[in-house]
């Protein structure tokens, strides 16, 4: 057949990404035969420059990975140059090589796209569904693609996030075996233009990574302060003077008094005890006397 749908997706990133992001980007390029690569973009450049890069590469869709603080990863999905575009926070990234899954698929084969029913109910999810279809689906009769359908891309909405999974379709019983990669997309904003413009939708459930880390630090500090407060209270209790309890008059009721002994008055002076000298000292004195007598003789 004739190749009519000439969708091309540019997949590249900014400088400062880690190894896991680089492997994820390479996995997406492997799974999408209609993708193109480009060199990393400098972080000082503005994002609207990507539209010119896509035009030079003859691409009308773009997946851009933006790294911040060497630990936070953001993904831009854009329809260049008119728009719209969506910005996501990427979490729980697992690549093909990392998971070592048992599934496998033909390189360049076309995937089936499976979406959660929520994508048809809410308008912002419907817009994202159309964006995902145009970016991730391989055009029919693409020169680098194969005429086979042997794996499924699933997009599931759980906990206000979009979970991406890739499964192999086994021919024997049509069961699914996960291939990878897998990641979670936390929607931040949807813009009318490409990499900017008026905001069409803003996620009210989104919490920035900086705020999340700040709340963790505050919770740890609160626990430490609570422990210190408990220690101070215990020290004050120990230092505080003990309050004397008043005597209870009812405690003496069951006490039995001791027998009183008669008082004896001695009219005669008691006899003095004889002084008993130490026998050992007497023996020593006698021995010394005997030695003196023996010497004089």
Both tokens assigned to 110: 């076309």
**Domain assignment of residue 130, yes or no:** yes
**Domain assignment of residue 21, yes or no:** yes
- Per residue in 181-196, pLDDT tens? 999 999 999 999 998 8
297 residues of the chain, pLDDT tens digit each: 788 888 899 999 998 899 999 999 999 999 999 999 999 998 788 888 999 999 999 999 999 999 998 889 999 999 988 889 999 999 999 998 887 777 888 888 999 999 999 999 999 999 999 999 999 999 988 889 988 898 999 999 999 999 999 999 988 788 888 988 999 999 999 999 998 899 999 999 999 999 999 999 999 999 999 999 999 998 888 877 666 667 777 877 777 777 777 777 777 777 776 665 666 777 788 888 888 887 776
**Domain assignment of residue 277, yes or no:** no
pTM of the model: 0.74
Confidence at residue 37, expressed as pLDDT on a 0 to 100 scale: 92
Burial of 90 (0-12, 13-18, 19+ CB in 10 A): buried
Confidence at residue 92, expressed as pLDDT on a 0 to 100 scale: 92
Residue 139 domain boundaries = 9-213
CB-facing half-sphere around the CA of 202: CA atoms within 13 A:
5
DSSP string computed for 97-121: HHH--S----TTEEEEEEE-GGGGT
**Domain assignment of residue 287, yes or no:** no
**Domain assignment of residue 263, yes or no:** no
- Per residue in 92-116, pLDDT tens? 999 988 877 778 888 889 999 999 9
Count of domains for the chain: 1
Confidence at residue 131, expressed as pLDDT on a 0 to 100 scale: 94
DSSP string computed for 217-268: HHHHHHHHHHHHHHHHHHHHHHHSPPPPPPPPGGGGTTPPPPPPPPP----S
- Residue 29 has phi, psi (to 5 degrees) of -65, -35
- Using DSSP, state whether 145 is helix, strand or coil: coil
CATH of the domain at 162: 3.40.50.10480
**Domain assignment of residue 275, yes or no:** no
- Residue 236 has phi, psi (to 5 degrees) of -65, -40
Confidence at residue 3, expressed as pLDDT on a 0 to 100 scale: 85
**Domain assignment of residue 26, yes or no:** yes
**Domain assignment of residue 244, yes or no:** no
Confidence at residue 74, expressed as pLDDT on a 0 to 100 scale: 94
């Amino acid at each position: 057949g004739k190749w009519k749908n000439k969708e091309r997706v540019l997949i590249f990133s900014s400088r400062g990404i880690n190894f896991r992001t680089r492997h994820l980007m390479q996995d997406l390029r492997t799974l999408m035969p209609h993708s193109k690569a480009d060199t990393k973009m400098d972080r000082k450049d503005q994002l609207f420059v990507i539209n010119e890069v896509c035009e030079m590469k003859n691409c009308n869709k773009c997946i851009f990975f933006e790294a911040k603080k060497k630990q936070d990863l953001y993904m831009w999905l854009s329809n260049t140059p008119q728009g719209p575009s969506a910005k996501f926070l990427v979490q729980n990234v697992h690549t093909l090589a990392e998971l070592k899954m048992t599934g496998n698929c033909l390189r360049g084969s076309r995937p089936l796209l499976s979406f959660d029913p929520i994508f048809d109910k809410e308008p912002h999810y419907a817009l994202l569904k159309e964006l995902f279809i145009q970016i991730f689906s391989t055009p029919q009769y693409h020169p680098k693609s194969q005429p086979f359908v042997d794996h499924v891309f699933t997009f599931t909405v759980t906990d206000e996030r979009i979970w991406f999974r890739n499964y192999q379709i086994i021919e024997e019983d049509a069961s699914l075996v996960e291939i990878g990669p897998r990641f979670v997309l936390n929607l931040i904003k949807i813009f009318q233009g490409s990499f900017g413009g008026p905001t069409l939708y803003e996620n009210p459930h989104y919490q920035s990574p900086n705020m999340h880390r700040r709340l963790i630090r505050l919770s740890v500090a609160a626990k430490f302060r609570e422990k210190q407060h408990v220690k101070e209270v215990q020290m004050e209790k120990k230092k505080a003077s003990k309050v004397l309890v008043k005597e209870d008059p009812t405690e003496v009721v069951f006490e039995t008094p001791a027998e009183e002994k008669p008082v004896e008055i001695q009219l005669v002076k008691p006899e003095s005890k004889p002084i008993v000298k130490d026998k050992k000292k007497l023996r020593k004195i006698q021995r010394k006397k005997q030695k003196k007598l023996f010497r004089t003789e």
